[in-house]
Amino acid sequence: MKPKTILLCSSLFLLTPAMAQEKKDAQPVEAPKPAPFTYPVLNVSTDEIDIMIDNLKFKEAGDKLKRSITQAKRRRKDTSALEAQQERCNRGVQALRGTDHVVVVDSVVVDKPSFLKAYKFSDEQGRVTMTNKGRTAEFTTQLGNRIIASEPDKDSLCLYSYYVENGRRTEKKLIEGLDVDGDLNYPFLMSDGSTLYFAARSSEGLGNYDLYITRYDFDEDKFYRAESLGFPYNSYANDYMMVVDEDNNIGWFASDRYQPEGKVCIYTFIPNSARRPYDYENDPISQILTAAKLCPVNATWTKENAAAREHAKRVVKGIGKSDNTKANYEFTLVINDQKTYHNYSDFRSAPAKQQCREWQAKAARLKDVGRKLQAQRDSYRRNKSNKEQILRLEQQYEQLLRETAEAEKLTRNLELQ
């Protein structure tokens, strides 16, 4: 992190009887009060090395720093600042090697104070709210029974967890195990109840806020050490508020890279089930740099992912429809680039219609097993006595996940025959 460029400034969880013991320490749950939005501040550096690093010229900057360090040592001058920059270059080179293949569906530039309005994820994923007069964010699960919040603690921001019982927050608990220093903010817990995204302004980051991911260790009752999402999700600028709608396979994050003061770009992308890094040794370095910078965005577009991008755009439009419109949908099935079905009456093929019913039955079963799995995980957090049940449900969930995906694909293929 560059000191010159930084300004300090679901599956769903269920409650257990054991939490009743904390009731006397509980606090009333209050809806966040309307407050003016604030946002991360970005200062542009004028330092030559910092500018090179901002443009991902890590090797060139590292070579220049190496010469400067050698000269400084000969003159018996302090080299600590130069060595810190060199370490940042080394981290940058390693990050480039892990640049992720990601398909960016769309990007939109909005006013920073109202950036959350550009996120179109469904209510089933939970709710994100700005707090502390807009300086911090908190995430609340769909049922409102768990909250992950960023709150001030002395000179930095930390992440805390609350459970909610009978409309009251339990005593807050510091989220431990992340092993990330600095300010921690903008949390988002995925519907699996385990995967947590957040942003951190850390001394080990690329600069300003960077995006991180961690998962919950149910055996140790804490989160694993967080990992930076790397390129292209992070940059020299502020990158924050990662949201992933698992049901619709759509993600969003905010970044003020390449933006004038007061503006932020919201990127809509298709999440990968696992990282797909570029081949650093064989892919053209120019291609990797373009992908890492996300500039231009359409560099992530190919003929092979055209259908997936069109599908994602239609899904996002569907998420934004009114509740009355969505209430008439029996399901959402993308047939091809021109057709999307929402009702059984849309089918021309009787076998496809029947297969669709089987697909929907598996999808409903998948959600049910997912709820049971999270309930068992939450119970295990309390009494450590149901590990075998969790393992069985995890196996069942994985099997149903595969079967549901196969049933959806078969439905589509039958209709296209």
Residue 51 scores a pLDDT above 80: yes
Please provide residue 298's backbone torsions phi and psi, each rounded to the nearest 5 degrees.
-70, -5
pLDDT digits (tens, 9 = 90+) for 140-167: 998 888 899 999 988 889 999 998 888 8
The DSSP-derived string for 228-264 is: E--TTT--SS-EEEEEEETTTTEEEEEE-TT--TTEE
Q: What is the pLDDT of residue 323?
A: 53
Q: What is the pLDDT of residue 326?
A: 55
Residue 263 scores a pLDDT above 50: yes
Amino acid at 77: K
pLDDT digits (tens, 9 = 90+) for 211-233: 999 998 877 778 999 999 999 99
**Rounded to an integer, what distance in angstroms lies between the CA atom of residue 217 and that of residue 239?**
26
187 or 280: which carries more pLDDT confidence? Answer: 187
pLDDT digits (tens, 9 = 90+) for 164-179: 888 888 888 999 899 9
According to DSSP, residue 218 is labeled T
pLDDT digits (tens, 9 = 90+) for 300-322: 998 888 888 888 888 888 776 55
Domain assignments of the chain as residue spans, ordered by start: 3-40+98-301, 324-416
Min mean pLDDT across 36-45, 120-129, 223-232, 268-277 is at: 36-45
pTM summary value: 0.73
Q: What is the pLDDT of residue 10?
A: 34
Q: What is the pLDDT of residue 382?
A: 61
Q: What is the pLDDT of residue 21?
A: 43
pLDDT digits (tens, 9 = 90+) for 82-123: 998 899 899 889 899 999 999 999 999 999 888 999 998 888
Residue 18 scores a pLDDT above 70: no
**Rounded to an integer, what distance in angstroms lies between the CA atom of residue 39 and that of residue 7?**
11
Cα-based torsion angle of the residue sequence 218, 221, 224, 229 in order, rounded to the nearest 10 degrees: 80
Residue 16 scores a pLDDT above 70: no
Strand partners, 129: 138
Which secondary structure element, helix H or strand E, spans residue 24, and what is its range? none
Helix (H, G, I), strand (E, B) or coil at 295: coil
238 or 379: which carries more pLDDT confidence? Answer: 238
Q: What is the pLDDT of residue 411?
A: 92
141 close to 13: Cβ distance less than 8 angstroms: yes
Residue 24 scores a pLDDT above 50: no
Residue 43 scores a pLDDT above 70: no
Report for 111-115, 211-215, 243-247, 340-344: range of highest mean pLDDT: 211-215
Q: What is the pLDDT of residue 19?
A: 39
